[in-house]
Every structure is written in structure tokens, then in C-alpha cells.
Structure 1
Amino acid sequence: MSNYPLSYKLSWLPRFLKPSLHSDAEDFGPAAADLVVPRPARTVRLAFIGDISAVASSRAPICDPRLKGLLGSADLVIGNCESPIVERVWARFGTWLGTHHAMKEAFFVEAMAAVGIRHERLVLSLANNHMLDQGIEGFEETVGALQRLGIRMIGTAHGGPMLPVNAGGLTIGFAAFTLWRNAAEGLFSGRVSTESNPERWPTASLGNADLFCAVPHWGWEFRHFPQAETVVLARQLAEYGFGLVVGHHAHVLQPVDLIGQVPVAYGLGDFLGTALVRQPWPGRIGGIFTIDVSIEPESRGKVVAYRMHPFMRLRDGDRERLVPVADLAGSLRGRVEARLERILGIAQPD
């Protein structure tokens, strides 16, 4: 069984139809900042994207060249694989209803090509509530597909709590975990990382890295602002030694915070639609979060700058079209910019 409280379950549909706005951007940090001045001559760029799924689409997306160029310029792209990658579904009824996720390998490969993400530069977290939606068989098929495609995975129990990944000469230590699961604990145990407290991880699990990055699947869905306990966990991760925290699960864009010198992106929304085809417009706002990290000897591993790049997922027949907010027109653009002003403190970061 899932571990969601009853109040969470009862609020799902109302919040899906109307995501909550219970706070304000002024309670958080800036959406973009330069943290090291003057800027080091050599940096590595990380680009984080939100949840990836095929629930709301049957064809690969159309991607604006500017967004494609942004992703293509990154040394490493990190996202959340929200749907098991399977050729046949094991939970037929739930998949038909949309409560159980499934994604064909062909769709995934075509989608990544359409947005300019190369397999060798992609890191995907499997630590999310949907990863056992197609049972153990679906989980194992997902792992096999990603291994075959040459895509690195984080958030699996087999790989341990920390995976070191080389990016442009830097070693980034990624730790992914999920606080939520849609199936029994026994199914997740030994497969998906669910421990959020690094002190309970194996001794020396952090190992050696130039920068440690936490990728939690946390919080409540369809809330534009994180819960108090999510903020507390972010601070605990920063205190433990993580220099970067980027979360998923809310399916809507959430604010950026700065805890000391540690950037925290609470939620990037969906990169490819994980909810229903006719999702209300606030849930169609997503973000690409870029991080520049120094590789100069005197500042190696330090976050130099970060920036949130909002975009919009528009329906285009049986697929989605990813466009910058500046390309929106009419009343939709006004509503999106007002929402970004509320969440990020600025309508369109440059």
C-alpha cells in the first residue's frame, strides 16, 4: 500500500484542478544569482529538468530551439524518470486509468532526441513513487533499458545512496531518494532508495566528490510552495554537506531558495506531462534549472551561478510543445507571468 496520509489523498483532485498558492516568493531566495565574483574562467554546467513521463503524450514533443540549445549546452542533464520504461504493461487497469505510469522505450528515446539531450550526458533518478507501478518486472525492465541505452541511474538501492558522476572533469556525487511510494514497502525495499537521513546511510557513503547534490522526491503534489517539513529537510541536507539540492514530485513549479551558499530548487514541475492530457495551465509551467560549477583549483566544486529558466508545455495535437514563456500570447502569457512573479519573484529571468 502507499504511504500517503488520508488528507493528502483527499486533496489531490482539488489541488490538481487549482494548485495552491499559500506563500510568496519573498519568503525564499532569488530565482537566479551569481555566487562567485569574479566568475572563474572554467566552469561545468549542470541542467536539471523535472519529471519525465508519457502519460499526457503519445508522441515525442516539439521543443523550441532555444530550450533545446540550453539543454544541449550542459555538460550533464539530470532528471526524474517518473514512469517505468516497459514494452508491455503489467498493471493494465491502473495504466488505462492513468494512476499507474508506463513509458515505451521508443517514446523515451525519441523524446530525448527531440529536446537535444544526449544519452551519455543524461542522469536519471528512479527514486520516485511511480517506479514500481508496473511491479518488479517493470522496475527490472526499466533498469535494463537504461543500462542498454548508456544512461546513468541514481536513486536505486542496488547502486547505493551515492553515485559519483564525472562531468567535464568534476566529480559530482548524486544522492536521490523518495519519501513517497505508490506500492507496498516490500516492493520498494532493496530496489528504490527511500532513506532521507544521510546519517542512516552506510559509513562513508558520501565518498569523495567535488560537489554533493541531493535529488529528493518530496513534498505534496500541486502546491507551488514547499511544506514546512520540506524546508527543514532542505536545511538538514545543506548542513550535512550537500552543496546543491534539486527536488521533484510537486508537478508544479516551486521557488528557489539559497541556504547559505547552497541553492535549493524545491520543484521543477513536469518536463513531459505526467498527469492528465487536459491538465490546467498552472501545471503546464515547468523549469530548467542550470548550475555553473567551478573547475578552477582555487574554487573547484563551488557553485558559481544558478538560474531558473521557466517554460510552458502547450498541447499540440497528441503531443506537447515546449516553449519559452516569452513566446506565449494574450491572456495566457499574462497569467503565467503573474504566477511566476508570485513563485519566483520575477516573471521571466533573463
Structure 2
Amino acid sequence: MGLERRLNSNKDDQDWHDWLRLSVTKGVGNEKARKLLGVFGLPAQIFQASLRQLLEHVPEKLACAILAPPDDSFYRQIELTAAWLDVPGNYLLSLADADYPQNLLTIPDPPILLYVKGRLDLLSAQTIAVVGSRNATAQGVANAEKFSESLSQAGLCISSGLAAGIDTAAHVGALKGIGSTIAVIGTGADIVYPARNRQLAHVLAEKACLVSEYPLGMPAIAANFPRRNRIISGLAQGVLVVEAAAQSGSLITARMAAEQGRDVFAIPGSIHSPLAKGCHLLIKQGAKLVESAQDILDEIRIPNSMSSVQTSTVAPQIDVETNKLLTIIGYDPVHIDVLAMRSGDNVMTLSAQLLDLELQGQIETLPGGLIQRVS
């Protein structure tokens, strides 16, 4: 299929190559692009403007860059994008597209282009963002998965960032409910990062939705990931932070959510856990403390027909000695030497018992010889 035919067949009513040209012109960016669109209309009209007209709104260097003929790299990007759009389930949405998510139009810096892979309908669904640490504890992962599953069962879509740790657990949990999930990625839509989530990304593309604002072929660049967080929160009514250190990218997402007028929720943790510090800071700053998915549903006033969250679980059968040891461990991280003093057992005997509990998924071992119960 020739390039011109592919351009016409993938976007019937829109010259998406002009939108793409605008998005990749060096020096333009989202803010200047929106300003120019407000003045001239569609991208084609920007490129048809005279130098004098452009100079009324942008510096001369940028005006010359806009009017310069596209180079070979642009035409390669056009060809790459056209081939990508030929694949069923792949979409390119501009600010002028009817399918562009309305929630993003309300944020201060909506992307002018979105590359979407999967279910377009999810972009207009009621959504909660679930974010947290890449180096999450087992308890944090369990919380993220369970909260996301419960919210998805109630009909909410879950947005997150496909990162390791909390993000991954959020997507996995959300896929178990009817609400499904959106992964907002910091690379081109044709690249999976981190590589360990390749299989999950394929599942999301088939059953859920992947979104990126970056051109195809864009590799993983550190600066792009904090920037994509505004889309994760922008798609949602609120953001749930599961685990976060005091200096964390999740706090950036929470800050952006607050600036966008979204609710911010946080799960509290142990006062001794570094990964609870960020959540506690958010709660001090006004985030809503949540202990269950129902707390979120009540806050955003989901209709009763949607909010029948199933919270009952079958408690595992635990023998008396195991239950006694779990009681001694408590819910805060504790050093094995302290456990030995509390229990009266020697470290060797205690280590064997703790190994059994870890294999059962009852506890996890943290750095520094600390033990934490997983409830």
C-alpha cells in the first residue's frame, strides 16, 4: 500500500500528518502548539501562515523552524506511523478528534497527540489512577492489586504507568474486574518498558488500553516519565497512592492531580517504613486516608448499583504456633534479633519458622534483616 493511500485510509477526515509534523517540530511543544492552534485553527493553517503572521506569536527562530520544509526524518516518522495505524486497534488522536478523552481537555497541559493501542472506550470511562513505588513491598503490591480489583469490579477503570511494582500490580488487579485498565507509558507506543512487562503489555493491548504522547520509536528517557504522570492523573477523577518514599515520582503524580482538581487518596503504613513516608506526607497535606476501596467509592459517589464491592475473603487456616508468631511479629517491620527476644526462641529456630511463613506468603524479608507481616 502506498504512503498517500495509507494516510488517507487511516484518518478519513483529518490530516494527521500535519498534526504529527506540529508535534515533532523542534521548539514547539504542547504549550506553543496550543497557542498557535488557537490563533490559526488546524495545523495545516499554521504551516500555510506567512513568516510575518507567525512572528506575531512566536520568536523568529521558531517561526523559521515551523516554515522549514520537513526533512527525511519526518517522512520516515510518517511512514512508520502509517504502518502502525494499519494494525487493527491502533489509533492516533489529536485535540480535534471526537474520541480525544474529555478529562484531558480540562488539564493545564493536554498533549496535542495521543497514540492509543486497544480499547478507545476506556478513555471516556470513570477512572481512578493507582500509583506507587517501583520497589514496593509485598504488602504494597498486594494492596495495589486488591484495591484495583475491587475498584474495577465496581465499574471503575484504573490508570497507571506500567512500571514495575505498584503500577504492575494495579494493572493486574484491574484486569480481574469489569472496569479494566489504561497504561500510560513514557516511551513510543511501539516500545515496551520495562522489558519484563512485555507480556502484560500484550494483554493490555488486547483487553485494555495503552496510551502514549510520544512519537513511535521514542526510547525510555528519564525526563519523559514524570511528564507522562500528568496524563495518568488527568484521565482520572482521583489518584490513589499506595506506597511512596518521601522523594518519589508518585508524589509528582499526586501534586499534578491536586493541580488538576482531582481527589488524592493515600493508604497509610507503618511509621517505620520508608515507603509509607510519602503517603503520610500526602495525608498531612490533605489527601484522604483510605483503608478500603469502599472509602474511595463513597468519596466519589459511585451509584449503589456499581459499588457492590466484594470484600470477603477466605482466611487461610493458621495453626496456633504460627498465629502466635504472627502476633509477636505485629504489623511493623521488626528485626529478627528483636523477634528472638520477644519469642524466647534462638535465631536458628526462629529463622526456620520465618522461612516457612515467607513461603506461605505470610511475611516478607526487608533490607537490613527486617521482617514484615503481609496481611
Higher share of residues assigned helix = 2
Give the TM-score taking structure 2 as reference length.
0.29
More strand by share: 1
Name which structure has the greater RCO, CA cutoff 8 Å, separation 6+.
Answer: 1
TM, length-normalised to structure 1: 0.30
